[in-house]
Amino acid sequence: MLNIVLFGPPGAGKGTQSERLKENYGLVHISTGDVFRALDPESELGKLAKSYSDKGNLVPDEVTIEILEAEVSKHPNAKGVIYDGFPRTTAQAEALDKFLSAKGTSVSMMLSLVVPEEELKSRLIARAEVSGRKDDADPEIIQNRINTYNNSTAPVADFYKAQGKLHEIDGVGSIDTITQRLFDVIDAQ
């Protein structure tokens, strides 16, 4: 199985590039952010997730891990999965390793999109116009998401680096250029 963790700060282009990878390699794309946004906003779980995501805070690990595992289990015959926005904490990375190892598989690689902070902020502000996402519209919430990334999520790269699975990719350039950079790393494996 080709299990790709697509990593990077908010606004790095994970969602856009996931679509390209999905098409090219025939993978299942799982974005925990998309899964949370698709929950019924009136349900207990939907309300809980929204109470964190609207502020730019992480949804608690137990909830996120359960949701991710349920989502992966919907695709028992997948030839591979792109994990977009997961794992975002070291505890989530450990849980994913355990979950995949019970299935006789493992994370193949982490592709980490590297984009400077100023560029992220301008991309997110521009995206707010089309996404309608509350967490894209407010500069303070954007800053909180970036800080949360730096404090809680960036260490996840070290987790995969220690396993020799980390690949950093320059995330600045045209969408096509970045797609090609990702393809080159995957094809070289």
Give the residue numbers annotated as catalytic, written as ranges: 14, 88, 127, 133, 145
- 88 lines the binding site for ligand ADP (CB under 6 A): yes
Q: Which has the closest alpha carbon to 11: 105, 127, 91?
A: 127
DSSP character for 59?
P
DSSP character for 121?
H
Q: Which residues contact 173 (CB under 8 A, 6 or more apart)?
A: 181
Q: Which has the closest alpha carbon to 148: 30, 25, 33?
A: 33
Within 27-46, the residues that bind ligand ADP by CB under 6 A are: 31-33, 36
Q: CA dist 13 to 6, 102, 113, 175, 179, Å? A: 10, 31, 8, 8, 10
Residue nearest to ligand ADP (CB): 33
Stretch touching ligand ADP by CB under 6 A, among 72-80, 82-90, 99-107, 158-166: 82-90
Residue (82 or 104) nearer to ligand ADP, CB:
82
CB 47 within 8 A of CB 40: no
In the chain, what are the helix, strand and coil shares in percent, each to the nearest 5? Answer: 60, 15, 30
- 171 lines the binding site for ligand ADP (CB under 6 A): no
- 18 lines the binding site for ligand ADP (CB under 6 A): no
Q: Give the neighbor-by-neighbor strand order of the sheet with 166-170.
A: 28-31, 80-84, 2-7, 109-114, 166-170
**Site map 128..147 versus ligand ADP, x via CB under 6 A:** -------x---------x--
- 92 lines the binding site for ligand ADP (CB under 6 A): yes
Tell me the closest approach of the beta carbon of residue 165 to ligand ADP, in angstroms.
18
Tell me the closest approach of the beta carbon of residue 137 to ligand ADP, in angstroms.
12
Count of other CB atoms within 10 angstroms of residue 128: 16
Tell me the closest approach of the beta carbon of residue 76 to ligand ADP, in angstroms.
22
Residue (85 or 171) nearer to ligand ADP, CB:
85
Q: Where along the sequence are the contacts to ligand ADP (CB under 6 A)?
A: 10-11, 31-33, 36, 52-53, 56-59, 64, 85-86, 88, 92, 135, 145
